[in-house]
Structure 1
Amino acid sequence: MPHTLKLLTIWLLITLVVFLGIQAWERERAASRFQLAGETVVLKRGEDGHFHWPGRVGGIDVDFLVDTGATSTALPQALAERAGLKPLGPVRTFTAGGAAQGFAARADISLEGGVQARALTVTVLPQLGAPLLGMDVLGRLHFSQKPGELRIEPNP
């Protein structure tokens, strides 16, 4: 093998090992933010200062941002399209960034820990950066907050 090809191969292998190591570290870090203690879901505050709850929308893995200030669950339009959600009609809503136009759709949402919402009416917004889990789901649960931790239990 020529010397240059050997060096290129070595650097590619080093890059691959570093990449795989970073991916494993990120997966471990995300998994440590979610814990299940019996029927209680424990979410640890993320580095961004928010609570995240892993789940699925229409079979697609999603990292929901828990938003107790949101009346309804909202999804980015790109995610809704990947999940195959069909528009029910236009909606105008008010977000932290001001008024926004989107559409309503129905989605099957399942969250880690066994929480599910079938045929939930969600708001789909083109400019939304991350999926928001709103009070239409959270209001069905009992939750309490401690410093850096959100504990969620089914309503008795």
Structure 2
Amino acid sequence: MALRLVARESGEWESMMKMIKMKDGEEEKHGGVVFTKKRGYDITRNPHLNKGMAFTLEERLQLGIHGLLPPCFLTQDVQLLRVLRNYDLKKDDLDRYILLMGLQDRNEKLFYRVLKSDIERFMPIVYTPTVGLGCQQYGLIFRRPRY
């Protein structure tokens, strides 16, 4: 289904044939396209594969996630603006750190897009000195294990 569409659009039939030989749940990155056997809920819970509401209707149907996400489509640019707005509403650096680490746990593509948007602004939050405070408060900010 989704494999055929990606392979047909990109002309990468060899990669598709390798994909058939892959074990269940394995992933392969090839030329910016990720081939995976995961479907449905597993896609939305994997931060490497999750695009949030940026999945198109066709992708949602083929990956079995239609109905698991809100019924609207937002580009990564709009998602970036929303994250920046939420970031600005946070009162201290530890809250900003928690916001960004939660984003990394859900959607890595968007997380790195946020960091690249203003690297000088975000690096002190995800690196020293704030990460040291995060380590000291680890028991209070822990949400779930990293994927």
TM (norm. structure 2) is: 0.25
Larger radius of gyration: 1
- Higher strand fraction: Structure 1 or Structure 2? 1
* Larger RCO (CA under 8 A, 6+ residues apart): 1
TM (norm. structure 1) is: 0.24
